[in-house]
Amino acid sequence: MSWTLEKILKGARSFKASDIHLVRGLSPSLRIHGEIRPFDGPPLLKEDLINLYQSVLNEKQKKFFEENWQVCFSDYTEGVGRCRVSVYYHSGIPEFSIRLCESSVRSKEELRLPPVIDELTRLPGGLILVTGPTGMGKTTTLNYMIHSINQQRRAKIVTIEDPVEFTHDNIRSIVIQQEILGDVLNFQSALRHVLRQDPDVIVIGEMRDLETIETALIAAETGHLVIATLHTPDSIQTIQRIYSVFPAEQQNSISVQLANSIQAIISQKLLPHATGTDRLLACEICIATPAIRNHIREKQAHQIYSEMQTGRKHQMKTMDQILMELYQAGEITYDVAISNAREPKAILSSTNKSDAG
């Protein structure tokens, strides 16, 4: 039996996998409900992986891979849809990590996004950050927000993505999706040029460096709605990460810019359901109230958490509050709640459990 990418992708779709891992010496492995599970079949040999590399990558992608030893791009397969392909070297052999992209935009209820998400998409300007570790659904939330704006507003939406994972039709808005290495060189240069394209909404797949963050803040301050992702676990560490990117002499001015432009931080985790048959989304919500803006301006990120704990009237929730709600509703186990909590002792005391129990 020889493995073809089409056969692997179709099998993965049938199992509702989120990711595929193609590693020498193992049969293709699927991530299903957060766990890695191997396909039935023979292990991938060096020749299989080289054949896949030769058939999947175009000449431009091969050239980039040979120079950089890694490459990420989107690919479309009939009957499967779009996927994000990451290729890397392992012991001198190209191997693959493939993310299967959503084929349609699911509803807010299906995704379990908080109601405030729709209010945020109606904002005329400012910065909205969607954060969380890799594989926590940030891109899915981003695409929901793009789709929501596209349905409601006559606007120009420009996205910069690495790579494009879901393609949007023009509904009420004009949607221009630019892919790194396909349409633009990198986030920094793309973002500089986007400002000259008369956008209303700018979506940045990932804020990776000082220049991208700086330009995003300028765009948000000058009347654009900027939606971006960061690989930070929660609201406080997101604020601290943005400060820390800049040299000390710039941090005061950046804190003022951030305080003026930030609208909300949505921090995500995908948690295993108590039944073990699915994963569910938990969203920490930080809304930029005057008090939170002041803490950002004064570089008092540690004070933000207490504002969030008492900010329910502003639709704020901490991750620990959400974990407690999900545990009490029987949707996650006690162990999942404790292992994902910022302050496990608070959950221990409120559930009347002890470490021994």
pLDDT for 135 equals 87
Yes or no: say if 332 and 272 are a contact pair by the CB < 8 Å rule: yes
- The vertex-256 CA angle with 153 and 247, nearest 5°, equals 115
Question: How far, rounded to the nearest angstrom, does the alpha carbon of residue 354 sit from its chain's CA centroid?
Answer: 34
Yes or no: say if 336 and 271 are a contact pair by the CB < 8 Å rule: yes
Residue 310, C-beta contacts closer than 8 angstroms, at least 6 positions apart: none
3-state secondary structure labels for all residues of 287-350: ECCHHHHHHHHCCCHHHHHHHHHCCHHHCCECHHHHHHHHHHCCCCCHHHHHHHCCCHHHHHHH
Per-residue pLDDT band for 347 (boundaries 50, 70, 90) equals: confident
Per-residue pLDDT band for 186 (boundaries 50, 70, 90) equals: confident
Taking the model in full, what pTM does it have?
0.88
Closest CA to 95 of 38, 48, 40: 48
Q: Annotate 235-258 with b (16+ C-beta within 10 A) or e (fewer).
A: bbbbbbbbbebbeeeeeeebbebb
What number is the average pLDDT over the span 36-42? 92
pLDDT for 148 equals 97
Yes or no: say if 126 and 46 are a contact pair by the CB < 8 Å rule: no
pLDDT for 34 equals 86
CA atoms of 168 and 219, how far apart (whole Å) = 23
For a pLDDT cut of 70, what percent of the chain falls above it?
98
Mean pLDDT of the chain: 93
What number is the average pLDDT over the span 261-279? 94
pLDDT for 357 equals 43
Residue 305 has pLDDT above 70, yes or no: yes
Question: How far, rounded to the nearest angstrom, does the alpha carbon of residue 332 sit from its chain's CA centroid?
Answer: 22
Residue at 54: amino acid letter: Q
Which tens digits make up the pLDDT trace of 100-114? Answer: 998 889 999 999 999
pLDDT for 345 equals 85
pLDDT for 202 equals 97
Residue 353 has pLDDT above 70, yes or no: no
Residue 93's CB: how many other CB atoms inside 10 A?
17
pLDDT for 229 equals 96
Closest CA to 69 of 100, 45, 101, 93: 93
Which tens digits make up the pLDDT trace of 65-79? Answer: 999 999 999 888 888
CA atoms of 140 and 265, how far apart (whole Å) = 16
pLDDT for 356 equals 43
Write down all domains in the chain, each with its CATH number in brackets.
5-100 (3.30.450.90), 108-317 (3.40.50.300)
For a pLDDT cut of 90, what percent of the chain falls above it?
80
pLDDT for 1 equals 58
What number is the average pLDDT over the span 230-257? 94
Crossing angle (nearest 10°) for helices 187-194 and 210-221: 20
- Is the model more confident about 22 or about 134? 22
Q: Is the peptide bond before 163 cis (omega within 30 degrees of 0)?
A: yes
The secondary structure of the chain in percent helix, strand, coil, rounded to multiples of 5, reads 40, 25, 35
Residue 231's CB: how many other CB atoms inside 10 A?
15
What number is the average pLDDT over the span 60-89? 92
What number is the average pLDDT over the span 203-219? 92
Query: E-assigned strands of the chain?
Result: 19-22, 29-32, 35-38, 70-77, 81-90, 93-100, 126-131, 156-161, 174-179, 201-204, 225-230, 262-272, 279-287
Which tens digits make up the pLDDT trace of 138-184? Answer: 999 999 999 999 999 999 999 999 889 899 999 999 999 999 888 98
